Amino acid sequence: QAVPYRRNFLGGLHDGLLVIITGTPEQSVNRFTVNFETKEDIAFHFNPRFDEGAIIRNSCIQKKWGNEERELKDFPFIKASLFQIKIKCTRRGFEVFMKDAPLLTFKHRVTNLKSVTKLGIGRGAYVNSSKFCTGESSSH
């Protein structure tokens, strides 16, 4: 599916929610974004940048960007090459996995997890699929 890609999910984030995104970065771009959003804010901004070999993580609360996080051992994305990102929401933050290996963790800055109800993927990658899996047995 072409981007920008947007998907709403009912009930918001919760501990144990796993989001699996499969896609392909476009050959001609230097970056793409994955955002978890409330109505007003970006709770988690995940921004792989090919030109910098970095993945920028941040949040935008009340129209103000927070402190960037960019520490990373290896840059795992390849242009025009299929990727699968697994993003798990825990009580403390977002845990990101690629190739089933831990990649990074981003501590929650928006603490009302239920208010985070949108997934947005910005220009720069084609989205094959996005899945939401819950680790909880009871429904909310």
User: Domain for residue 139, yes or no?
Assistant: no
User: Domain for residue 105, yes or no?
Assistant: yes
User: Domain for residue 138, yes or no?
Assistant: no
Cα(69)–Cα(57) distance, integer angstroms? 5
User: Domain for residue 115, yes or no?
Assistant: yes
Helix, strand, or coil (residue 63): coil
**Residue 18, domain extent:** 5-133
User: Domain for residue 140, yes or no?
Assistant: no
Report the mean per-residue pLDDT for the chain.
Answer: 92
Q: What is the pLDDT of residues 29-61, one digit of tens each?
A: 999 999 999 999 999 999 999 999 999 999 999
Residue whose tokens read 């609360």: 61
Q: What is the pLDDT of residues 100-112, one digit of tens each?
A: 899 999 999 999 9
If one counts the domains in the chain, the total is: 1
CATH number of residue 99's parent domain: 2.60.120.200
Cα(43)–Cα(115) distance, integer angstroms? 9
One DSSP character per residue, 89-140 reads E-SSEEEEEETTEEEEEEE-SS--GGG--EEEE-TTEEEEEEEEE---SS--
Give pLDDT, residue 139: 37
